[in-house]
Chains A and B, each alone.
Chain A
Amino acid sequence: MSATPFTSDQLLAIDISQRHLDACVVAGPGSGKTTVLVEYYRRLVAGGVDPLSILAITFTEKAAGNMRKKLAQAFQDQPETRARLERAWVSTVHGFCARLLRENAVFAGIDPEFRVLDATEAWRMQQDAMRAAIDALFAEHLEAMRGLIRGLSNYYFEPAVLNAYDTMRGAGLRAGELEDFPEPAGTARDEINDTLIAIRKEDLFGWSIAQRDQLEGAIEGAERVLSADTPLAALRAIAAFQCNLQKVKRGSTAANLLKRMREQIVNSEYQQITAFYAPQRNMLIAILRRFDALYRDRKVQGGALDFADLEEFTVRLLEESPDTRARLRRQFEHILMDEFQDTNGQQARLVELLRPPDRFYAVGDINQSIFGFRHADPAGFAEYRDDVAARGRRLVHLIDNFRSRAEILRAVETVTAGAPGIEDRSLVPGRKFADEPEFSVEVIAAPTLEMEAQWVARRILDFGQFEFQDFAILVRNTEVIPEFSAAFTAAGIPFVVNRGRGFYDSREVRDLTHLLRVIANPRDDLSLTTVLRSPLVNVSEESLLRLRMNEYSLSDALGRTTTDAYGEPDHSRLSRFAARLREYRTRREYVTFDRLLLDAIDESGYPPSPNLDKFLGQARDAATRLSLDEFVNELAILRAENPREADAPPEDSSNTVKIMTVHSAKGLEFPVVFVAAIHKGIDSSVPAVAFSRHAGLGARWRNPVTGKEKDDLFQHALRQEWKLREEQESSRLLYVAMTRAEHHLVLSFSTTNRKPENWDKLVIERLGLDPAQPGDAIMPFQTAEGLPWKARIHVVQEPPELVARTLTAEEEKPAVLFVAPPAVAAQHDGNATVTALSTFAACPRKYFLSRYLGFDSRPRQFGEFAIDEDKPRDLSAGEFGTQVHALLAGTAVPDPSPDALKLAEVFQQSALGRRAARATRSARESEFLMAMDDLVIRGQVDLWFEEAGQLVLVDYKTDDVSAAEAPHRARDYGLQLRLYALAVERMAGRAPDRAFLHFLRPNVLVEVDLMPNLIENPEQIVRDFQEAQSNLNFPLVEGPHCKSCSHYHALCDAR
């Protein structure tokens, strides 16, 4: 599937004849590892392995998707295989766990319909659980909690505790195991004592009195430390301990011993702090445990799992259910894993449990392990690799690099060789380039960041042969981005910041958030003013002040503006906004929140942006879970606590320079890469509370005697580990950044009057640069192995001469097409019933409320409720009518009510009833469908018959009316009968001669005129009906009938 032939190393890596052996592929940058992995998979399948028995795990969703896509393409012409590939297990670890857990939910003891929390949701749930946990413990153990708060070096310890929790889970540990970590060894009292004894034994020959006094003082101090009977006393003694080595006899054994003792005493502070704060540390563990319990409980309540749960529950499932594990081991004949160096302890454990012997195929590269902050642990990969080598299994090194020019690779080697965390491995150039430029690597050093950015901009413009989209600016710390943005803007370079993290603080998100707050409650003056002054309403400061200048609250004043006072356009803007706002407020819980916002956006022509889209998406999504008040509250919390939500991705079809972090560039490549601001590191200090899987939970405390901060033994041990990891990862990050470049690599930094201590330090040292010496020259360099390469070294002191290009119209303002609203007509229903039409004819409003909206029965009054268990339930009017009609149609009615029987009898005994009995032709309860215009009408004719040459139409009414009211009521039914007559004409082949309404209760027969005036004829009513529906206007027809209408004084305005 690859166009270029495979190298011999690659061939070895994709050789499936060795598939029965564990394999480890160490794949350097640009070595074609994805191709290798996909090809290996493809060959397995082509060789007869069922795709469903291969488990392939990638690091990102995107990688998994690409792999599935490539595989599908490879088997395009084999539908069977392709179909199986659709179900194949190619996913991220989390995707795999989620699927496995869903299929085995019962064994895993979880809700099979669980949903997976995204990072922000999980974060919010954690915040709440943490708050609840601490509050609960605070209420239960007031004094202990006070001790903890006073003791910890930082009052605001929750973020640190949550981070420690994450690390702990990533390592596969549970809160309950925290207490099991043994206390790391500190300086034992005996050691101090031994040194002290040794000092005492020393001969002090030649010491001056002052020197002896100094020694005596130190000995006494040490004795106090040793004799302290409580940690507090010991800490006091340590704080009081003094020993000036300058003031004792230099070079003597005693002085050396003294020095050791001083060290021992200083070190023993860790131990004393640990002992002193043991109860508080237990409290800290109690918080974690309580938090863990609450957080888990909330997830169970919500049927949700977070990412760590996916891993934890899968591991538990495999550990606790040997049958399941055996079944899955049988299921997966082959396990393929990409980026193995980026797995955490828990994931490694998972793979361990899952993989059958000699069926594991791992790909990775320690040098590219940069996800330690997400608890990745590259040691697992190293162990596996060494194990594969030791057992003589397949170990392949892919060292050919098909991405970068040789000079770039040599620069990488020169700068990073031997740096902590980097394994020395040569990068063999494998890609052929058509040209050979004079140099492909350069270094820019400037005195300030601002100037550095300007030079970078200038350099981009100087390149002739590349498009803007060929450039990437990679930074380690996003704080430097504003300088680059400013420089690029000044130079007219179009650029996008790939996933900045200021989403909640962006202007559009702020404006829309305030609008939501106003919809929630417009008494929020601050939000209201923000909205009024934003482009959403856009009124002047004068008008704002005027709104404030009267006795009303701002929101009340909104609806009371006048043209006189406010002028135009402000008056119309304000009054229009007031009207829209009222509408938004009535709709707020009924539509997704984005719809309210969209209306305001379209009202004002608010400018579009990717963040706007993203926020609208969030608002829409939130509406399915939260009320508006809740959402507004969430937004406030999110903004206040600033989780650094990523901006929406820029639309990337455009020709722009990309600015991004090194982490987000992992796996990408660009023709020209600037690794910029390499002098700028990141804060990698250890927080007040931290966890490591070797040392356990550590904390930094306040020394109760000195008030100074001090680690406990756990934290002390952990700090060493932490420092080492940061150092190693820092080198690897630089390695990854530099190896993204294909044609050209630029490293830039600013000297900013300080000592180099980050990547700039490494570059300066390795290349032997002097950033204080201005110059611009191409200089020769050599790798450790003696391979030569050149770089342009450009040390500047002044800003570049400003060369700015002008933006194209498209760059200036992206084209948006505006469309006018369509003409909307004929919005009436396609169907109606005869009853609905006749209700409409009597009172359109009543039709609207009862039929069109469906508010029908008058509910039982709240509070008037009483249960009478003995009384049988009455038939409703509707049920009663149905019974009577059924009886008259001759249908069997089980258990008919005596009243219904009586009414049926009324008709049967009537003159009309007797005529019907004699009829030559008749039909009862004939249902029909019939179209008038395009309206399909449904109805049911009670009875029609032909007798003595006359065709008669009858409708029975069971209404509760008096004989006097009946003729009146009959008017309402006129239309109904006329419609029936039309139907009967078609059924019987001739029009009815006469039509009757029979009111059964008062036993009154009313004849209906079938040839009415124009207004009452059915065609006209159907037209009115359709028009009312189209315009949504249903006038009321007030009259005495209102009193018997269920909407009277309720939903209807009739007085």
Chain B
Amino acid sequence: MRLITGPAGSGKTTHVLDRFREALRSHSHAVRILVPTGTMAQHLQNQLAREGFLFPPSLIQTLDSFLPDATPQVTPAVLHLVVERAAQRVGRLEFARVAAFHGFCNSIARAIQEFASAGCDSARLAAALPEVPLGPAFLAVYREVDAELARRGLAFRGRRLETAAAHIAVHGIPGATAILMDGFHHLPDPELGIIAALGARTDLTLTLGDDDLTPPLRSLLLSMGFQEERLPSRRAQAAIAVVKAPNIERETEEIARRILTHAAARPFREIGIIVRAPEIYLPALRATLERFSIPARFYFDSPLERHPVIRFLTGTVDAMLAGWDHARTLAVLRLAPRFADFPTADRFDFAVREQTPNSGLSELRAILLGNNEQPGKPEARLLQKLDSIAYIEEWREFLLTPADWAARLSTLRALFRPARPSFPATADLVLQWRSQSAALSLFEEALAEAAAALASLHEIPLDEFWRALKSVLRLKSLRLPDGRRNVVHVISAKEARQWALPVVFLCGMVEKQFPRVHQQDPFFNEAARQRLNAAGIRVRTAQEFERDERALFDTATSRATMLTTLSYPEFDARGERNLQSIYLEDLFQPAEDSVAVRPLPRRLPEERAPAPIAAPDLLDFLTRRTATLSPSALENFLQCPFQYFVQRLMRLKTAPLRPEERFTFPEQGNIVHAVVAEWWLHPQEIVPLFERIFAAHLAAAHIPNGYHTERLRNAMLDDLKRFTSEDAWPRDAFQSQTEIPFEFPLTADLNIKGRIDRLDIAPDGLAYIIDYKYGNMQRVKGKVKDPNLMQAPLYMMAAEHLNAKPGGMFYLGLKGGLEYVGWSQSPLMDSLALPENWLETTRRNTLRIVGEIRAGRVDVNPADTGNCRYCDGRDICRVETVAGYIATAGEDA
């Protein structure tokens, strides 16, 4: 038994490979290389095959695949479910408050897993249980789990190894005389058991790095009969650079920039990025590398639960369980690529959202059909989809065995029809499609695991199986197969142990990310772990954790044969300053600054101010469009020509409002107008009148009844009551008409159109126009001073065309008070005198405005920037609001 030791990079693997080559050259297939991971096995296999050897792949294997088959191993998902049930069954008081938490079951499963890997089952733990408050309760759960697994014929990996060791001890390894074990780091008891058995039956060589070979481990191995051979040499230390960047985005961009520099001289495959905090860095790296067109392969798993295919499959059932709540159902349907063509789906999406909250499949169908008896082809297809999912509704009533549930639910996958690939594809789309097929298979796997975990149960309802399935899905992860070779390798610090590359980047060198902080286990604290170790149960202590972190760092920085670049962001995502990793301090290397870098844009940026419309056909269009105009349109233009462009010419619709937003100011105004109009002609009890009109409007606009609606209702009712009881207008002196539409020609090619809220005609024939305003009272009061006011004089003209003698015009503000502002020939309601030449000036102004509109004027030129806040076009015109001004003040104010 030989133990080959040496520092990282001293050539241990080379030594192993040399011996293996020797055997191949002499046509012997009696040598095996055993390694801890599949990637490493594949690395070695490929390396040798590319050297020209032809050999059976099974000569290089992972330890796990090499072992004789024994009891099936429990998967993490099944273990989780078993723990969940065990914790419930045991019913320990200590766990009563937390037993239902997913995280609790996870922690307990993790701790059990740790003990099992250390070769400590519940019986052994019982014999050495340290005194900690949760010890007995934990042990009780562990016992129950052990018993349950035994009942099901499942075992932990540790137990599997023990059985295998016993088997090897008796039968040896048929066909193998020499075993080379390389790449192992931790050697827990079960692994040591295997090593002992192999050592007894074959010519065994084991390599171990200095970082992993702790003094106790060394003496243990020597006592097992190993002879140590040290490899002293260490390959030449690669150069080291340290880089700092303002934030993660810039850090990854800097890495990309440097990769591109290297890539000019060497293939991508000779470059690696080591990531210690994948949850923070992976998304950023994926985005940046893609952005700079750097092909990369990520050796990481992603959570299966979040995959769109899984979200679609589980979402469908969840939506069904929630009675086909429309918002949820819609969200789910949108995840299916072939749910409908984009335009149909988009229309449907808005139609549904206009009416949420709502539920039920038949209601969805009704929305889809709208008023059409005969749906178009795309709608018909969508209808079919809806019908096909309706099928699962009956499942709610079923009682089935877990296996039957699994079989039934596996038919769900037929609902997900991947989109047909188009060519040529991109690497990213390939990964996307691949992830779909992988997720579909994993869904089936999850069903099987859930069924296996619940195997002891008889017939259960859907939701019971469903809960278990979701737990399983939550625990499973997805690793995308990607076999490309000439790519930048993005690997974890652990994975990195098996790599050597010329150029290596190590990102995220900040405090708490590398080294990670040790987290004390909630069941066995540090002291307890020390005691367990003393009793021979080798569970991990904080010191070991820290040593491992340091070892990971040392390995990561010794992977490069040419250059290692370490980097860190100075600020985190919230804008707080990071502290650089303590490990960096030991390097005594000053940090270089990153360079701001971007991919060459495909188009050069340019700012341009709105240019007038000049094309003749468009000008024609404008003339046609402005043949009839309303006073408020003219006022729009005066506020800002661009506002007019957006609101009147483009007439842009936006996404449906959320239910709580639907009670808009215009909607409130409409209700008040309607109530006042009716009441004025037929004075009556205001409350019932208001309630009737209010309810009708609410229903028409799909405004949900709730407290928010209620408080607006209150405010409106208060205002209306004030109006009906306190209005000082001498109404008896007038004859009133309400809601009078008008349209009159101002010139041969211009009509003015509008609707007068109320026209009160005095016995002397003079007519007074009343316009109700249900908005900010200050703005109503401001009307008399508004230089851009068009409505009042134009209404006066309109009155003339309605064959009345206009005597005055009043705005009546109704919101939060009661206020008349206006102009008249008499001193009625403190009115102002009619401005001189009012109508004539207005006429001229109108023609000027219309001329400008027709000449294509669309500049951004707000008369009152305060009004910009309320303009629909405010994001389009790119005028800065005050807040925005502050935000960008530093760059371009």
Contacts and interface: CB of A to CB of B under 8 A. Distances in A.
What class of interface size applies to chain A in its complex with B?
A: 35 or more
A762 B268 CA distance: 67
Contact of B408 (A118, A495, A527, A865): A865
A917 interface: no
Given A105-B104, A149-B711, A548-B649, A827 B522 contact: no
Contacts of B429: 586-587
A505 B883 contact: yes
Given A495-B890, A987-B54, A112 B101 contact: yes
Contacts of A607: 605
B575 A65 contact: no
B887 A150 contact: no
Contact of A824 (B95, B293, B420, B435): B293
6 contacts: A62-B576, A495-B889, A507-B884, A629-B334, A827-B487, A867-B407
Most buried by A among B55, B419, B485: B485
A605 interface: yes
A613 B420 contact: no
Contacts of A525: 650, 652-654
A648 B595 CA distance: 19
A323 interface: yes
Nearest to A628: B334
A438 interface: no
B342 A482 contact: no
B434 to A, nearest CB: 5
The 7 closest A-B pairs by CB, nearest first: A113-B103, A605-B601, A502-B883, A829-B483, A862-B414, A109-B97, A830-B485
A135 B707 contact: yes
B286 A595 contact: yes
Contact of A541 (B283, B350, B610, B882): B610
A830 B45 CA distance: 11
Interface string B104-133: 101100000000000000000000000001
Interface stretch (A797-805, A1012-1020, A1031-1039): A1031-1039
A481 to B, nearest CB: 5
Contacts of A595: 286-287, 290-291
A636 to B, nearest CB: 8
Interface residues of B, number: 178
Interface string A365-406: 000000000000000000000000000000000000000000
A727 interface: no
A769 interface: no
A854 B437 contact: yes
Contacts of B484: 827-830, 1029
Contacts of B95: 106
A486 to B, nearest CB: 7
Contacts of A245: none
Interface string A104-118: 111101111110001
Interface string B509-534: 00100010111101101000000000
B696 interface: no
A69 B579 contact: yes
Contacts, number: 485
Interface in B586-601: 593, 595-601
Interface string A599-616: 100111111111101101
A185 interface: no
B43 to A, nearest CB: 10
Best-surrounded residue of B414, B418, B523 (most CB of chain A within 10 A): B414
B295 interface: yes
Given A111-B101, A595-B290, A627 B585 contact: no
A863 B891 CA distance: 60
A255 B257 CA distance: 88
Contacts of B880: 507
Nearest to A511: B875
Interface in B871-893: 872, 875-876, 878, 880-891, 893
Interface stretch (A163-171, A259-267, A649-657, A667-675): A649-657
Nearest to B312: A589
A52 B352 CA distance: 58
A928 B56 contact: yes
A556 B343 contact: yes
A555 B646 CA distance: 16
Contacts of A500: 883, 886-887, 889
A470 interface: no
Contacts of A723: none
Given A118-B574, A590-B432, A86 B582 contact: yes
A817 B414 contact: no
Interface string A464-476: 0000000000000
Contacts of B428: 587, 591
Nearest to A613: B249
Given A155-B715, A614-B575, A482 B886 contact: yes
B522 A106 contact: yes
A863 B385 CA distance: 12
A444 interface: no
Given A86-B546, A595-B287, A541 B413 contact: no
A522 B652 CA distance: 12
Contacts of B830: none
Interface string B706-729: 110011001100000000000000
Contacts of B711: 149, 155-156
Contacts of B432: 587, 590-591
Contacts of A832: 483
B404 interface: yes
Contacts of B54: 928-930, 983, 986-987
Given A523-B346, A602-B602, A604-B603, A501 B886 contact: yes
Contacts of A83: 543, 546
Contact of A819 (B423, B517, B573, B599): B599
B855 interface: no
A819 B259 CA distance: 12
Given A590-B308, A617-B247, A853-B434, 6 more contacts: A594-B283, A616-B287, A630-B331, A818-B599, A819-B260, A927-B56
A580 to B, nearest CB: 10
